[in-house]
Amino acid sequence: QVQVKESGGGSVQAGEALVLSCKVSGTTKDDYHAMGWFRQAPGKNGEGVSCISWPGDETYYADSVKGRFTISRDNADDTVYLQMNSLKPEDTATYYCATENGCSYYRSGIYGVGFRGEGTQVTVSS
């Protein structure tokens, strides 16, 4: 059974940085998943934040995080990272990691369709 576990959330001041990690377990050698991060804040629509293909040669970033966030992955360790710099209060949300069918879906607003974790909270204060 595939399990996804996020970590690295926390409370920071605006302008600071955080690194989120996502560990995937239970996959087989034939499971070549794209991986993505999406977020959900109370009272707001969810947003597909970033996605990376299995080889790592294709990435997607929402306009709201472009230039500030960087996604990467270590397939040998089955871990995906989200480096978040210059954090803003509007980045406050629960961040989820999920296996995805492909990053092209993020461009259409489709995300979180595969196995997902329970989320990690990011709070940015001004």
Kindly report, residue by residue over 7-22, the tens digit of the pLDDT. 999 999 999 999 999 9
- Residue 20's nearest CA partner among 120, 108, 124 is 120
Output the average pLDDT for the chain: 94
Alpha carbon distance 40, 28 (integer Å): 29
Dihedral angle sign, alpha carbons of residues 104, 105, 108, 111: negative
Q: Give residue-wise pLDDT tens across range 54-71.
A: 999 999 999 999 999 999
Q: Write down the pLDDT at residue 31.
A: 66
The yes-or-no verdict on residue 50 having pLDDT over 80 is yes
- What are the distances in angstroms from CA 69 to CA 1, 76, 105, 112? 30, 22, 19, 18
- Quote the distance between the C-alpha of residue 4 and its chain's center: 11
